[in-house]
Chains A and B, each alone.
Chain A
Amino acid sequence: MSSKSKGKPKIAVFKFASCDGCQLSLLDAEDELLAVADAIEIAYFPEATRAMGKGPYDIGLVEGSITTYQDAQRIQEVRRECKTLVTIGACATAGGIQALRNWRDVDEFVRLVYPTPQSISTLKLSTPIAEHVPVDFELRGCPINKSHLIELIAATLAGRKPGIPSYSVCVECKRRANVCIAVARGVACLGPATQAGCGALCPSYDRGCYGCYGPMETANTASLRNQLHVLGQTDDQIVRSLRGFNAWAWQFRKASEESEHP
Chain B
Amino acid sequence: MNGRGGRTIRVDTLARVEGEGAIYIKMAGDRVADVKLKIFEPPRLFEAFLRGRHCTEAPDITARICGICPVAYQMSAAHAIERALGIHIDPAVRLLRRLLYCGEWIESHALHIYMLHAPDFLAYEDAIAMAREQRPIVEKALRLKKIGNRIVQLLGGREIHPLSAAVGGFYKTPTKQSLLELRTDLEWALEASLETVRWTAALQFPNFEQDYEFVALRHPDEYALNEGRLVSNRGLDIDVAEYEDHFLELQVKHSNALHSVVRGRSSYLVGPLARFNLNFERLPDVARKAALEAGLRPPVKNLFRSIVVRAVEMVFACNEALRVMREYEPPTAPRVAASNRTGVGQAITEAPRGILYHRYALDEKGLILAAKIVPPTSQNLKRIEDDLREYAAQVAAWPIEEATWKCEQAVRCYDPCISCATHFLKLVVQPDEASRG
- B125 contacts chain A at the CB level, 8 A cutoff: yes
- B319 contacts chain A at the CB level, 8 A cutoff: no
- A49 contacts chain B at the CB level, 8 A cutoff: yes
A72/B171 contact (C-beta < 8 A), A34-B142, A210-B60 known:
no
With the chains together, A189 CA to B115 CA distance in Å? 39
With the chains together, A204 CA to B48 CA distance in Å? 32
A19/B419 contact (C-beta < 8 A), A24-B160, A97-B49, A97-B64 known:
yes
| B42→A16 contact, CB < 8 A | yes
| A120→B57 contact, CB < 8 A | no
Candidate in A16, A68, A245 with the most chain B CB atoms within 10 angstroms: A68
| B54→A112 contact, CB < 8 A | no
Interfacial chain B residues near A202, Cβ < 8 Å: 157, 163, 171
Bitwise, A112-151 to B at CB < 8 A (1) or not (0) is 1111100111110010000000000000001100000000
Within 8 A of A (CB), among B53-71: 53-54, 57, 60-61, 64-68, 70
| A18→B125 contact, CB < 8 A | no
| B43→A113 contact, CB < 8 A | yes
Q: Give min CB distance, A97 to chain B, whole Å.
A: 5
| A206→B334 contact, CB < 8 A | yes
| A50→B126 contact, CB < 8 A | yes
In this complex, the interface size class of chain B, counting residues with CB under 8 Å from chain A, is: 35 or more
| One of A40-48, A75-83, A163-171, A224-232 contacting the partner | A40-48
With the chains together, A106 CA to B42 CA distance in Å? 14
Do most interface residues of chain B lie in helix, strand or loop, or is the interface mixed? Answer: loop
- A251 contacts chain B at the CB level, 8 A cutoff: no
In the complex formed, the residue of B with least CB distance to A123 is B437
Interfacial chain B residues near A204, Cβ < 8 Å: 157
- B17 contacts chain A at the CB level, 8 A cutoff: yes
In this complex, the interface size class of chain A, counting residues with CB under 8 Å from chain B, is: 35 or more
With the chains together, A55 CA to B13 CA distance in Å? 16
With the chains together, A1 CA to B131 CA distance in Å? 11
With the chains together, A31 CA to B139 CA distance in Å? 9
- A67 contacts chain B at the CB level, 8 A cutoff: yes
Partner of B66, one of A19, A47, A70, A237: A19
With the chains together, A108 CA to B60 CA distance in Å? 24
Nearest first, the 5 closest Cβ-Cβ pairs linking A and B are A21-B67, A49-B126, A69-B437, A50-B15, A109-B48
| A contact residues vs B (CB 8 Å cutoff) | 1-3, 15-25, 27-28, 30-31, 33-34, 37, 42, 46-52, 67-73, 96-98, 100-101, 104, 106, 108-110, 112-116, 119-123, 126, 142-143, 198, 201-202, 204-207, 210, 212, 237, 240, 244-245
Extra contacts besides A28-B160, A113-B43 (14): CB < 8 Å: A2-B124, A19-B65, A20-B67, A21-B70, A47-B15, A52-B15, A69-B437, A106-B45, A112-B51, A114-B426, A115-B426, A121-B435, A123-B437, A143-B67
| B contact residues vs A (CB 8 Å cutoff) | 13-20, 40-49, 51, 53-54, 57, 60-61, 64-68, 70, 111, 115-116, 124-129, 131-132, 135, 138-139, 142-143, 145-146, 149, 157-161, 163-164, 166, 171-172, 251, 334, 405, 408, 419, 423-424, 426-429, 431, 434-437
For this complex, 30 residue pairs linking A to B, each with C-beta atoms less than 8 Å apart, are: A3-B128, A20-B68, A21-B66, A21-B70, A22-B67, A24-B68, A28-B149, A34-B138, A47-B18, A49-B16, A50-B15, A50-B126, A51-B125, A96-B44, A96-B64, A98-B44, A100-B49, A104-B49, A109-B45, A109-B48, A115-B251, A119-B427, A121-B431, A122-B42, A122-B43, A142-B64, A202-B163, A204-B157, A207-B164, A207-B171
